[in-house]
Amino acid sequence: MNAQQRLFLKETMDLAWGLYRAELRGPDPRTFAQSLAGAWRWMKGAAARKAAAPAWARGTHARTMSLGSMVQSPIRRSLSGAAYAGRRSWEAGRTTTRIGA
């Protein structure tokens, strides 16, 4: 058995155990055999699902993304849209960055 087959079987078993554990506490718990069969069907159909996916979902097209600051304080949000608040907004952003809030 090569490494690719081992990885496939490991991922299948991990998925089966996850399904089994998730359904243990449900109103109609599934058996491990049902979980394993579902995991096997899911893993076997992965290639067909990937081929049917659009290009943006497969990650095969070129894309560029520009993200702004992930941290936004209430002060910066309140000043960012205000007229003539450029300097005040910049100072509030600098203060927020220095404080770390």
pLDDT for the residue 74: 62
Does the pTM of the predicted model rise above 0.75?
Answer: no
Q: pLDDT, tens digit, for every residue of 28-56?
A: 788 899 999 999 999 999 888 888 877 76
Q: Rounded distance, CA 91 to CA 56, Å?
A: 39
Q: pLDDT, tens digit, for every residue of 72-83?
A: 666 655 655 666
pLDDT for the residue 39: 94
Q: Rounded distance, CA 29 to CA 47, Å?
A: 29
